[in-house]
Structure 1
Amino acid sequence: MRLDWNLIRTILAHVEAETIQEFLQDADSISQWREGQLLSERLEGKQNPAQAVVLRHIKLLASANYIENIEIKESADGYFSYACTGAPEMTLEGYSLLESLRTDNFIGKLKKYAKEKGVPLTIENVIELAKIALPALVKID
């Protein structure tokens, strides 16, 4: 699976708007997130591959403490399920990440900046680079 920054922004926006459960239940909304993903063949026929992509991204966000009260479980055969242990919400770090991702062409500019500096584009690095390089990112075209 490839890390999809647009999907991360979408997930965080749904958590912020308190519509994440509706988003997860809407097959049409989820189906677009399969496009361009490298997916394991083990999911074939077991689960909608787009749903697995979305749930994996949520799992990453939850494990990095950007969102809370959403648990993602993966069975031995690769099937993903989710449960809300309370009202899904973002942490302060999640709000910071979402605000960064909402900036016009932020990811494009950040990818260019990270490439110039030789830094991998991980979730943690996105936050740190945003703090350090925000003035420079505004100037990059």
Structure 2
Amino acid sequence: MKREWELIRLILTRIEAEGDLSSRWFADRFPEWPADAVSYHMWLLIQAGLLTGQCNADAPSAGFVCHGVALTWAGHEFLAAVRSDTAWGRIKARLAERSVDLSLDAIIAAARFALGG
């Protein structure tokens, strides 16, 4: 499955906005995306240390389900860099003009540059 950065931003944004640490964010809370894609991206976010949550298996497979609970410190920092559509557009443009694939490290580096840091 391909990593979808728009879905990653959406998951982080919605979970941060909830503010309720007793909530569990399953795929059905993102009906505009296929459930398997949401679970996969939550798994990626948990693996990257941006989101706390759990999955019913260590790796994606048939019947794989994950849920998110809260952003980590790194998740809040990452979201702060990509939250605004304007900043996100600048980041993607900067990486595209340099023919750099979107990766977590590349996005963070481009965000620092785009935000003057």
Could you say which TM-score interval applies, normalised by the shorter chain?
Answer: 0.7 to 0.9
Residue of structure 2 in register with 1:71 after alignment: 54
Deviation at 1:94, TM superposition (A): 0.5
Residue of structure 1 in register with 2:111 after alignment: 130
DSSP 3-state at the match of 2:32: helix
CA–CA separation in structure 1 for the residues paired with 2:13 and 2:70: 10
| Matched AA of 2:70 | E
CA–CA separation in structure 2 for the residues paired with 1:75 and 1:58: 11
Residue of structure 2 in register with 1:14 after alignment: 14
> Would you identify which runs of 4 or more consecutive aligned residues in structure 1 move more than 3 Å?
74-77
| Matched AA of 1:71 | Q
Structure ranking higher in strand proportion: 1
DSSP 3-state at the match of 2:65: strand
- Structure 1: stretches of 5+ with no match in the other structure: 34-49, 136-141
* Mapped pair 1:95 → 2:79: no
Counterparts of residues 1-141 of structure 1 (less than 5 Å): 1-16=1-16, 17-18=18-19, 21=24, 23-24=25-26, 27=28, 29-33=29-33, 50-68=34-52, 70-72=53-55, 73=57, 77-82=61-66, 88-135=69-116
Alignment coverage as a number of residue pairs: 113
Deviation at 1:83, TM superposition (A): 5.7
- 1:71 touches 1:82 (CA, 8 Å); kept in 2? yes
| Matched AA of 1:82 | C
TM (norm. structure 2) is: 0.76
- Structure 2: stretches of 5+ with no match in the other structure: none
CA–CA separation in structure 1 for the residues paired with 2:97 and 2:60: 40
Deviation at 1:101, TM superposition (A): 1.9
